[in-house]
Structure 1
């Protein structure tokens, strides 16, 4: 009986590790986010602003990959595209605070205006439905600030 209990415990531990590895595989990486921003910028330039924004906000296409998605705001913080939640398009998010009180959209606009970079904040993960630490790479796309974030 003791060997059976050990076998069950070993199997449970293996399943737990496999589930943890699977969860890690479901998360985009900084390199993948950077590549998606570059690809989105090229699409923005080739397809034009209006078509690109429409494409970025259409679920189920190449602009959404697991927990990675493209978003864009204008320089007032008004959302222009959002791959995970198209209902945010048209809403001014400049006063939006994360769970820690950080005005992260306003910071994204400032970082984007300065040439781009990473912004850290917390945000609901569309996969886990939990508020998690996140970092987004934002860059200027014409007169907009667009980016892709990773959950940590």
Structure 2
């Protein structure tokens, strides 16, 4: 029975990611996925998590991907453009001038987790659209995970 479960579990997880990709994820699903991503970083470290976050599947599908920054606002994991990993995004502003990375860091530091709203260019529509991002602090690793969703 255990062997059968081990064979079926990866298929089920893959199906779940495919189902999420086929449908637009909900805020509850994004929150749960962000918390799961933070747990993976906490358990395995940033470098091992990077492999999972860059690979298409549970943590990366459609417009959904996991970002990881440190408390100084340096991108440690950015799947859409890994060349930007290692760059500071601390002073990045949204289209309305909001310092969104600073707000992400503040929410992580002050609350441990929560939502940040801003306006960002949606590459699918090529328009500035409202976006909401769930933020989760990983204090033992000194990093913050977050996943965004266009509204």
TM-score by length of 1: 0.74
Query: Which of the residues 30, 33, 37 maps onto 2:34?
Result: 37
Return the offset for 1:59.
4.6
Match of 2:128 in 1: 131
1:26–1:66 contact (8 Å) kept in structure 2 = no
Q: Which 4+ residue blocks in structure 1 deviate beyond 6 angstroms?
A: none
- Other structure's SS at 2:104 match: helix
- Other structure's SS at 2:66 match: strand
Return the offset for 1:96.
0.7
Q: 1:66 to 1:130 in 2, by over 3 A?
A: same
Return the offset for 1:65.
2.3
Query: Which of the residues 118, 123, 129 maps onto 1:121?
Result: 118
Q: How many residues align?
A: 127
Runs of 5+ consecutive residues of structure 2 not aligned to the other structure: 1-21
1:83 paired with 2:72, answer no
1:46 paired with 2:22, answer no
Runs of 5+ consecutive residues of structure 1 not aligned to the other structure: 1-24
Match of 1:140 in 2: 137
Larger radius of gyration, structure 1 or 2?
1
User: CA–CA distance in 2 between the matches of 1:45 and 1:150?
Assistant: 23
Return the offset for 1:93.
0.5
Query: Which of the residues 63, 72, 86 maps onto 2:59?
Result: 63
Q: CA RMSD in A?
A: 1.8
- Other structure's SS at 1:31 match: helix
TM-score by length of 2: 0.75
